[in-house]
């Protein structure tokens, strides 16, 4: 392990990039060679024909366990040239290095980018939350396209930073909330925007998370770090702490890694970070949600300075706001039409009341009030473990899954919910959001959308590009800030300041450990 470099001053995102951006990199060559393919029949030179034989991207995958395994496999049609993971003792290491034998392996992503930077076109980032922005910004500084798992970052400052960086450098980006690839989610977004249920004033979103330990204090003691694990790099920008492995000999999951980091405030973002970028994705887009004015969190059970509670109920208040949507048949002067949204309150529910014997340590009882879910029970026989309910002046929309891929409609005066594919009202709303036409499951299609955009150098064709998903991430992370601050937050979005709560600043922007900084 090399010695970490001293922290550098954060670069200005407006700094000139002429030296970097003026060069023709591999992605520009791939785009040019792909466009030139059609010229072969017109006598293109033999050199060009030879160069065009290999138009695959060179992909480096950072974090190959857990979700990183499927993120890597989703790019298998390209050239997987590098794999990086801090743990060589995992099953994922054995599986993935055998599956991609020509890929160089690294434990430290910094060494990988330093040594192979000019051989890499794009990277996937599938690390714990606290590493996302550190890794992604280093890759983006080198002008690499980035696919980063949700939540995009661990802090609001980092989300804003990556959003600006991607915009200024015109980087092709995608966040890994794969429900975005579904036709159902995009259909819900466009029809709600077009007035399917009128003005929406209430949104209720709930989840069965956490399914990992939370509401714990830090254990005492210290275990020997396994020889296969680079603990310093795993800790990254967080304050250093002793390694502690599993307290159950039959359980390979340690106190922190490879999975239980989600509940720890220094490494994860709790249930909000794990699921809100999925379950809130549809209403966030449909209602053009931006900066909330107030965020108020109530914890269920213990809330300490180490981990998130086993349940929380969080209120996000959004003021009036405007949105722009593309018109079906654009003409010379008008490609978009403006819409105005009334104030809306979004309620988030995770976990439940403490139950040490249950999975995740809670009873899964934290859901919307029963008077709001009677129609859902009539439809499905029970309230599902996860869901999303939008209540409008003209009706309601209910999505029963984690990703918003499926939804039901009950308009004002109707007796029950009807599936959107069978509801007659849908016929009046044209399809105007481009669909993801890539084959495979949602995870594969979502990654393929990003890969196609990289080859074409069209950042705008990624439905979950950082310009959009950084805003979603910021909103959800404000729930974490309110939980950690222990009070209601009055939010000034443009200034990134909790106006009534100066102690929240430490949770809005993390103080990185020496030697670790955003690039």
Asked whether residue 188 is domain-assigned, the answer is no
Which pLDDT band holds residue 17 (cuts at 50, 70, 90)? very low
Asked whether residue 258 is domain-assigned, the answer is no
CATH number of the domain encompassing residue 349: 3.30.360
Q: Is 374 helix (H, G, I), strand (E, B) or coil?
A: helix
Residues 158 and 89 in one domain: yes
Structural domain boundaries, residue 355: 200-219+270-432
* pLDDT, tens digit (0-9, with 9 covering 90-100), for 281-313: 999 999 999 999 999 999 999 899 999 999 999
Residues 373 and 458 in one domain: no
Residues 277 and 324 in one domain: yes
Residues 169 and 292 in one domain: no
Task: Please tell me the predicted confidence (pLDDT) of residue 11.
Answer: 37
Residues 389 and 495 in one domain: no
CATH number of the domain encompassing residue 147: 3.40.50.720
Of 235-239, 244-248, 372-376, the poorest mean pLDDT is in 244-248
Of 100-114, 238-252, 474-488, the poorest mean pLDDT is in 238-252
Indicate the number of domains in the chain: 2
* pLDDT, tens digit (0-9, with 9 covering 90-100), for 121-175: 999 999 999 999 999 999 999 999 999 999 999 999 999 999 999 999 999 999 9
From 432, 467, 488, the end of a domain falls on 432
Residue 273 has pLDDT above 90, yes or no: yes
Asked whether residue 240 is domain-assigned, the answer is no
Beta strands in 238-307 (DSSP E): 294-300
From 432, 462, 481, the end of a domain falls on 432
Residues 470 and 348 in one domain: no
Mean pLDDT over the full length of the chain: 90
Residues 449 and 427 in one domain: no
- 402 torsion bin: left (phi>0), alpha (psi -120 to 50), beta (else): alpha
Which pLDDT band holds residue 55 (cuts at 50, 70, 90)? confident
Residues 296 and 385 in one domain: yes
Asked whether residue 403 is domain-assigned, the answer is yes
Asked whether residue 169 is domain-assigned, the answer is yes
DSSP single-letter state for residue 158: H
Which pLDDT band holds residue 372 (cuts at 50, 70, 90)? very high
Residue 9 has pLDDT above 70, yes or no: no
Task: Please tell me the predicted confidence (pLDDT) of residue 49.
Answer: 27
Task: Please tell me the predicted confidence (pLDDT) of residue 32.
Answer: 54
Task: Please tell me the predicted confidence (pLDDT) of residue 27.
Answer: 56
Residues 90 and 66 in one domain: yes
| CB neighbour class for 28 (10 Å; exposed up to 12, middle 13-18, buried from 19) | exposed
Asked whether residue 265 is domain-assigned, the answer is no
Residues 407 and 465 in one domain: no
Residues 468 and 321 in one domain: no
Residue 6 has pLDDT above 80, yes or no: no
Q: What order of strands is seen across the sheet that includes strand 145-149?
A: 104-106, 79-84, 58-62, 122-125, 145-149, 173-176
CA distance 271 to 263: 8
Task: Please tell me the predicted confidence (pLDDT) of residue 324.
Answer: 86
- 68-103 burial, b at 16+ Cβ within 10 Å, e below that, comes to bbebbbbbeebbbbbbbbbbbebebbeebeeebeeb
Please give the average per-residue pLDDT across 446-473, as a whole number.
97
Residues 381 and 449 in one domain: no
From 403, 432, 461, the end of a domain falls on 432
């Amino acid at each position: 392990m090399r010695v970490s470099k001293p922290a550098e001053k954060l670069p200005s995102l407006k700094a000139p990039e002429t030296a970097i951006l003026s060069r023709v990199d591999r992605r520009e060559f791939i785009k040019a060679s792909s466009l030139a393919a059609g010229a072969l029949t017109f006598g293109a030179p033999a050199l060009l024909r030879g160069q065009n034989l290999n138009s695959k991207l060179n992909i480096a995958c950072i974090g190959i366990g857990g979700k990183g395994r499927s993120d890597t496999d989703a790019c298998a049609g390209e050239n997987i040239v590098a794999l990086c993971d801090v743990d060589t003792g995992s099953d994922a290491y054995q599986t993935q290095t055998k599956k991609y034998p020509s890929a160089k392996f690294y434990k430290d992503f910094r060494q990988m980018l330093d040594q192979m930077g000019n051989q890499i076109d794009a990277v996937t980032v599938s690390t714990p939350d606290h590493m996302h922005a550190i890794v992604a910004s280093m890759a983006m500084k080198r002008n690499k396209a980035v696919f980063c798992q949700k939540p995009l970052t661990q802090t609001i400052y980092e989300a804003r930073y990556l959003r600006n960086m991607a915009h200024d450098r015109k980087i092709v980006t995608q966040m890994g909330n794969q429900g975005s690839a579904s036709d159902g989610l995009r259909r819900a977004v466009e029809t709600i925007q077009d007035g399917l249920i009128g003005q929406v004033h209430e949104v209720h979103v709930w989840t069965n998370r956490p399914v990992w330990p939370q509401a714990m204090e830090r254990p005492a003691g210290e275990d020997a770090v396994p020889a296969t694990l680079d603990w310093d790099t795993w800790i990254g920008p967080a304050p250093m702490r002793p390694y502690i492995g599993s307290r159950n000999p039959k359980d390979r999951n340690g106190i922190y890694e490879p999975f239980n980091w989600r509940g720890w405030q220094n490494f994860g973002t709790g249930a909000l970070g794990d699921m809100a970028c999925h379950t809130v994705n549809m209403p966030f887009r449909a209602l053009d949600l931006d900066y909330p004015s107030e965020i108020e969190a109530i914890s269920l059970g213990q809330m300490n300075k180490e981990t998130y509670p086993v349940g929380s109920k969080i209120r996000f208040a959004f003021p009036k706001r405007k949105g722009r949507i593309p018109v079906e048949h654009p003409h010379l002067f008008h490609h978009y039409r403006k819409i105005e949204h009334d104030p809306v309150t979004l309620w988030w529910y995770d976990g439940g009341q403490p139950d040490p014997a249950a999975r995740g340590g809670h009873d899964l009882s934290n859901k919307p009030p029963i008077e709001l879910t009677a129609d859902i029970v009539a439809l499905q026989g029970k309230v599902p473990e996860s869901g999303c309910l939008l209540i409008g002046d003209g009706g309601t929309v209910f999505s029963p899954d984690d990703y918003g891929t499926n939804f039901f409609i009950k308009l004002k005066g109707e007796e029950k919910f009807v599936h959107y594919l069978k509801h007659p009202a849908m016929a009046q709303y044209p399809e105007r959001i481009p669909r993801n036409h890539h084959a495979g499951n949602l995870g594969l299609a979502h990654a393929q959308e990003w890969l196609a955009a990289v080859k074409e150098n069209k950042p705008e064709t990624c439905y979950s590009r950082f310009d959009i998903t950084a805003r979603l991430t910021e909103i959800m992370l404000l729930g974490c800030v309110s939980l950690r601050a222990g009070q209601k937050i009055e939010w000034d979005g443009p200034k990134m300041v909790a106006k009534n709560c100066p102690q929240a600043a430490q949770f809005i922007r993390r103080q990185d450990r020496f030697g670790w900084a955003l690039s």
